[in-house]
Amino acid sequence: MNTLLQRLLDASGQRANLVVRLLVGLVFLPEGIKKFLFPEQWGAGRFERIGIPAPETMAYFVGGVEIVFGLLLLAGLLTRLATVPLIIDITVAIATTKIPLLWRATAVSAKVGFWSMQAESRTDFAMLMGLLFLLFAGGGALSLDRRLGRRRGPLTTG
């Protein structure tokens, strides 16, 4: 029977998983860094404008989550585990910044409503799909998960 650690380290996916890890990690890492470097535009100021409670605390927390787990994805270390907080992060981002665009629809402007939300949320939905892929597929052949899994011996099925 597989242990939880063996399942978390299972990286039996293809080498192409590296591309998805890079795609997702290289978006989340700089997004997290921006929350610290440019707090008014991307951190506490933005969180306050969209109504997030305790905006300064939450901006630093979210920035830290994006940096730490973005780095884990880039390294392919605990890939499946790293996707969970980022899935929560991106889901909250969609709910608080993209879904509200749907409610701004007016008959006067074509720039609001569904098409505005679709245009503004492309990256967020792509990140969500990439995270779900990594949650299901793992870090892949070119990951630290694979190296650590090999040291523990082959995984057994059953």
Is residue 26 over pLDDT 70? yes
User: Is 70 exceeded by the pLDDT of residue 105?
Assistant: no
In the block, residue with structure tokens 């630093």: 60
Higher local confidence (pLDDT), 117 or 95: 95
pLDDT of 120 reads 85
Buried b or exposed e, range 73-93, using 16+ CB within 10 angstroms: bbbbbbbbebbebbbebbeeb
Is 137 contained in some domain? yes
Condensed to tens digits (0 to 9), the pLDDT of residues 70-104 reads 999 999 999 999 999 999 999 999 999 888 877 76
45-73: pLDDT as tens digits: 999 999 999 999 999 999 999 999 999 99
> In the prediction, which pLDDT does 158 show?
38
User: Is residue 21 a part of any domain in this protein?
Assistant: yes
Phi, psi of 91 (to 5 degrees): -65, -45
Mean pLDDT computed over 126-152: 91
Look up residue 150 and give its two tokens.
């090999």
pLDDT > 70 fraction of the chain, expressed in percent and rounded? 85
146 within domain boundaries: yes
CA distance 56 to 7: 36
Which two structure tokens, joined as six digits, stand for 24?
């997702």
87 lies in a domain? Answer: yes
More confident: 113 or 32: 32
Residue 12 lies in a domain: yes
pTM of the model: 0.83
pLDDT band of 130, cuts 50, 70, 90: very high
What is the total count of domains within the chain?
A: 1
Segments forming the whole domain that contains residue 20:
4-150
Write the CA distances from 77 to 21, 96, 121, 122, integer angstroms: 10, 29, 28, 27
Does residue 155 sit within a domain? no
Q: Answer yes or no: is 156 within a domain.
A: no
